[in-house]
Structure 1
């Protein structure tokens, strides 16, 4: 078994799930790190009609820095916007209709904190995937943790290092394959084959 330290993401990319669900990994989720901007902690990438589309959760800038204390802003109705974007992107995919009632539960939530929202999202995704991966939360921030550290492994700015096979995506005929989008993309397009696909990803660690 390997101990791994994972950040908590909003509808995480496929590569994150390949680490999270690896049977060899004992997962600890990071709740004390200083919140880094422009990362998957507050954004997710889906496949829109014009290519990659980033959905970003707005944050309350209240001076707090630890990820567990970061508050979500509800000044704009981003939940409605995000859900509409997801529905528009995937309603013609093979499996969206099958999972729609479970997906929408996430956007009925109104959590105060980003960490809690993301963790509830993970719970819903595990229900969809029919997985029961156990994990723990860390108890303090450690700069150089004993666990395999994935806090900076998943970048929104550079291509994913994880090797994954191409699969059919809703707009791939027009725009080509987009690698390592949100797990939603894989679930909507591969359905029950999602877990098999994840297990076959070549991990870069």
Structure 2
């Protein structure tokens, strides 16, 4: 049983969805403290003037220790602004006309969300369904969480009868693999190298942009340019 546990991101890049596709259970760990200038409420798209951040405004003033799932949306106008940016920069992409209604539906649903976690889940689930991802989405709040960072992850895996835990390479800096081994849980680190390039708009190729770039440029061929989704 394969388990991935991570924070939610706003319309993340292809590697994030590869990690979801590996999992039998994908646990959204938004009990963590919200961090500013991170991927929770923003991501990049390509434009004629270079990379551009799409940022969802959130209420953080004086709330230094709030959790990600407690972080509320500060201004509903972000939906219209983001959609206009996508139309302006991707309207000439090969599959924009085919998928603009679908993507716009995600934005229309996200408009009614109150927290950044809720916004992110609209896109994670919608794009996951588009890609044919089979993982079951769960939330960290559904589990009994202990204080130690690694022990929390182990405990979640145990509750799910997990045999394999997958995480990013940056986790090597703090991961205590012995905790997993004692519970017969194998630890794996994602390798995000070696992705094939595809034809993009607006200059040199960029891997680290929102997966919307792939959807508008590749359409149904997205799976052929990912590692775990076939």
- TM-score w.r.t. structure 1 length? 0.82
Which of 136, 139, 146 lines up with 2:138 in the alignment? 136
CA distance in 2, matches of 1:180, 1:164: 11
The higher relative CO (CA closer than 8 Å, separation ≥ 6) is in 1
Which protein shows a greater Rg?
A: 2
CA distance in 1, matches of 2:126, 2:217: 18
1:48-104 Cα distance to aligned partner (Å, 9 max, x none) = 1111111111111262611110001116x2211111111111110011110101111
Aligned to 1:121: 123
Moved more, 136-145 or 30-39: 136-145
Aligned to 1:112: 114
CA distance in 1, matches of 2:5, 2:45: 25
- Residue segments in structure 2 that go unaligned for 5+ positions in a row: 155-164, 172-190
- Residue segments in structure 1 that go unaligned for 5+ positions in a row: 154-159
Report the RMSD for the aligned CA atoms in angstroms.
2.4
CA distance in 1, matches of 2:206, 2:7: 23
Q: Shift in Å at residue 179 of structure 1?
A: 1.2
Moved more, 138-147 or 90-99: 138-147
The alignment covers a number of residue pairs equal to 190
- TM-score w.r.t. structure 2 length? 0.74
CA distance in 2, matches of 1:87, 1:132: 30
1:159-201 Cα distance to aligned partner (Å, 9 max, x none) = x953311110012xxx210112111001111111112221269
